[in-house]
Structures are given as structure tokens and as C-alpha cells.
Structure 1
């Protein structure tokens, strides 16, 4: 996936709750949504398991994509 395509998706995410973010990613039609969805879901699962945070209390304050040409999945 190209970095600029991933940036178009993540520009919709900052300052939103975890649940709202998953819903946005679920219904957006960009190809970059699914890997970002999996990443955010995994981060929340780790926060829940390792630190005891509840997913409903999580929010996304900052998210960014580094410069790059192509990430192959």
C-alpha cells in the first residue's frame, strides 16, 4: 500500500474513540483500511491484556504514517 493512501485513511481517525475508529474503518471503501483496522484492533487488545485498559475508554490522540514508497503485505 502506498503511504499517501494510508494517510488519506488515517486523516479520518485522530481524536476519535476506539469504537468510532473501528466503525469508520469498517465502512470506508479504501484498501488501506483493513491493515489499519487490524493494527488498531491489535493495539487495543494489547492494551487490554497487558495494562488492563477497557477498550471503550481508549481513544486515538495521534496517528501517522512515515514516508515510504510501498509497503507490501
Structure 2
């Protein structure tokens, strides 16, 4: 099963980590650590999906994004 691609990055402006799902417009979360941001994003994702379903809005399929390794 494919799942949504997740970005996690440090934001100096917010002094913490931001996690987002590009396929789900405006679905993002904040955390003091990368793990906390990811945990909060899982909650945000469920709410995003439930809201879209309840409003009859389309739910985008996950898109493939290749992993780019940095050495």
C-alpha cells in the first residue's frame, strides 16, 4: 500500500520542526523534535482525510516521489 510522502524540516523562524504532506494541500504540523512533528502530522492527516470525506471532496492518491540520498 502506498502512503503519502512526508517532508520534515527544521524552521529557524518557528524554532522547531515542520512536517507536511505535499499531496494533501495545507496538511502540516509543528513539533519541537522531528518525531513530535511526525506524530502531530499523523493526527493532522486523519483530520484532513475525515474532513474531506465528510464534505464530499476528492482525496488525492499518493504520488510517487523517488528517494534522493545525500552522502
TM range (shorter): 0.3 to 0.5
Q: Which one has the bigger strand percentage?
A: 2
Q: Which one has the bigger helix percentage?
A: 1
* Structure number with higher relative contact order (C-alpha < 8 Å, ≥ 6 residues apart): 1
Q: Which has the larger radius of gyration?
A: 2
